[in-house]
């Protein structure tokens, strides 16, 4: 399941985080790549600092308060966050992310751009779903959530600069198919409630969703 999530950050929040990001120090992105991804990674990563921690704290808070992210990811914790910077000529070739980061299983990945797509050319996130490659270019402050198990790449940037927060989530529901079932039930319960309120049909649907989550959730 791939979800595009709008307005995780508003324009003022994006501007503030972008200004903070511009003040950070950056290092070669290969330092955070896995053994086999290292040779195809050409970008920059923000160097760890208190200022970067504050930026990540804001992003985590915004994601945790967004109902679509919560419904799609069922997050137990964030395994890792990085701030990536691609300048003209930089790219990240086809790869799959590590299954374990900082001792945590990675179930879902996300990309949240801080750069408006008008600021750069190229730089699309390309996700291989096994049938075709999907090219995703998002507005600043939006996010895409996708399975960490997917092969993906970042197209070469040919003009300007692409900056984005990328991260990995350990979900309370390990199985991707079960997460999708719960997401669809969550959407359905919201739509039924919006249309008819708290009816007996809503109560049964909400009960089914809640009990499935109880059955499948991991501590």
In this structure, what CATH number is given to the domain that contains residue 43?
2.60.120.620
Residues 133 and 64 in one domain: yes
Q: What is the pLDDT of residues 199-209, one digit of tens each?
A: 999 999 999 99
Q: What is the pLDDT of residues 69-120, one digit of tens each?
A: 999 999 999 999 999 999 999 999 999 999 999 999 999 999 999 999 999 9
Phi, psi of 6 (to 5 degrees): -85, 150
Range of the domain at 62: 3-171
Residues 160 and 94 in one domain: yes
| Number of folded domains that form the chain | 2
The model's pTM is 0.93
Alpha-carbon distance values, 201 to 187, 194, 206, 213 (Å): 15, 13, 9, 19
Residues 104 and 138 in one domain: yes
Q: What is the pLDDT of residues 108-158, one digit of tens each?
A: 999 999 999 999 999 999 999 878 899 999 999 999 999 999 999 999 999
Residues 44 and 111 in one domain: yes
């Amino acid at each position: 399941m791939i979800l595009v999530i709008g307005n995780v950050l508003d324009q003022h929040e994006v501007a503030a985080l972008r200004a903070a990001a511009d003040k950070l120090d950056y290092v070669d992105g290969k330092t955070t790549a896995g053994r086999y991804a290292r040779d195809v990674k050409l970008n920059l990563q923000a160097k760890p600092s208190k200022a970067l921690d504050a930026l990540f704290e804001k992003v985590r808070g915004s994601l945790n308060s967004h109902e679509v992210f919560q419904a799609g990811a069922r997050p137990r914790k964030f395994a890792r966050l990085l701030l990536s910077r691609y300048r003209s000529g930089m790219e990240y070739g086809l790869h799959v992310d590590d299954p374990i980061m900082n001792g945590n299983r990675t179930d879902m990945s996300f990309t949240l751009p801080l750069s408006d797509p008008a600021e750069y050319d190229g730089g699309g996130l390309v996700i291989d779903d096994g049938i075709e490659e999907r090219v995703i270019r998002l507005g600043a402050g939006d996010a895409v959530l996708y399975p960490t198990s997917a092969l993906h790449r970042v197209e070469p940037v040919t003009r300007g600069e692409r900056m984005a927060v990328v991260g990995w989530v350990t979900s309370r529901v390990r199985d991707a198919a079960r997460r999708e079932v719960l997401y669809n039930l969550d959407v359905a319960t919201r739509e039924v409630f919006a249309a008819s309120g708290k009816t007996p049909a809503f109560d049964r649907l909400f009960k089914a969703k809640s009990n499935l989550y109880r059955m499948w959730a991991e501590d």
